[in-house]
Amino acid sequence: MKIKHWMTTDPITVTPDTLIVDAKKIMKDHRIRRLPVVEKGKLAGIVTYRNIIEASPSAATSLSIHELNYLILKLTVKDVMKKKVVTVSPEDSVIDVILEGHKKGVGAFPVVENDKLIGIVTETEIVNSMVQLFGTRAESEIIGLENVGPEDAVGVFRRIAEIVENHNLPLLGMFALPKRQTAGNRVYIRVKTKNTKPLIDDLVAAGFEIGD
């Protein structure tokens, strides 16, 4: 799964000279919390709602209301934006991007191709899309299979899918996680049913070990 299939194309942008009051209004109007900053067609940085709030003068300041308003109205995006931005390519793997985000504490990535901003993707958007893709909001149950041999993953997945199909159940998702202490994998399947006992019985009969 590549980022180009998950990103928001033609993202709303601002320039370094955009006033932060205008940037804040854009975020509010479009219900977003970050804006890529573009200058002369190239990505120059990113500004977040938090950047703007932190840059605003504190209510505890000794400045007068008029002085506060003057300072706020003079601030531009270039005064508060983050210039060092972690970007991704449209060809990057979704999983790699999520892992990179966790590693660097980043929740949004401008998508750049040939030095040009072509989109933006956030962890929240990816997770929401995966929820829809794997049907996690549907009436369903997850079954965990323990110590699944790693030698023939494709064959194992095919066997599991065939058993599920024999029960006329929609298979909403299936993925494997390596176990740290054994050579086998832990495989999770999500099926659209609340009555999993007949399926579990057949999986056990086929030699699979059911996890907790």
Half-sphere exposure of 17 (CA within 13 A, CB side): 2
**In the chain, which stretches have pLDDT less than 70?**
1, 57-70, 129-138, 150-153, 178-184, 212
Quote the pLDDT of residue 176.
Answer: 76
Name the CA dihedral angle for 197, 199, 203, 209, rounded to a multiple of 10 degrees: -40
Quote the pLDDT of residue 77.
Answer: 96
Quote the pLDDT of residue 89.
Answer: 94
| Nearest-10 crossing angle of helices 123-133, 94-104 | 140
Q: Which CATH class is domain 141-210?
A: alpha beta
Assigned superfamily of 3-131: CBS-domain (3.10.580.10)
pLDDT tens digits, 57-82: 655 455 666 666 667 788 899 999 99
Quote the pLDDT of residue 62.
Answer: 59
Domain limits of the chain? Answer: 3-131, 141-210
